Amino acid sequence: MTQEPESGTVVFVYGSLKRGYALHHLLASQVWLGRAQTEPRYCLYETGEYPGTVETSRGISVHGEVYRVSAECLRALDAAEGVEDLLYERRPICLQAPHDVLGAQAWYYLGSTAGLRECGASWPGAV
């Protein structure tokens, strides 16, 4: 069931939740709001089978997708992202216009980035 555009939480996804990737099925019935870019405040790292983003003073704009999701979907996404296991933390993220007014949230990687390869603006590879 697709959510009404006015209800739900706006999330920015940049990795395995994007269209065409392993966990996108979790977003299949949610409202797609389009492609988006963050403000240049983040760094995207290759952590294995998925990426992780962190906020940093030497950040760039990360490319991803924006969705409006139901509370039920948000709980499923938190579980998939390992929030309870302290792998990721969901919190606000700064997006560029026109999505900057949506109050989006994203999952930030909480592990060490020492020795991890930077992905550039998009995972996998460059846009």
Catalytic residues: 84
Query: Tokens standing for 49?
Result: 């089978």
Q: Provide the residue type at 39 as one letter.
A: E
Kindly write down the DSSP assignment for every residue of 64-93, as one continuous string: EEEEEE-HHHHHHHHHHTTTTTTSEEEEE-
Q: Are 36 and 9 in contact (CB under 8 A)?
A: no
φ/ψ bin of 9: left (φ > 0), alpha (ψ from -120 to 50), beta (otherwise): beta
At 39 the three-state DSSP class reads coil
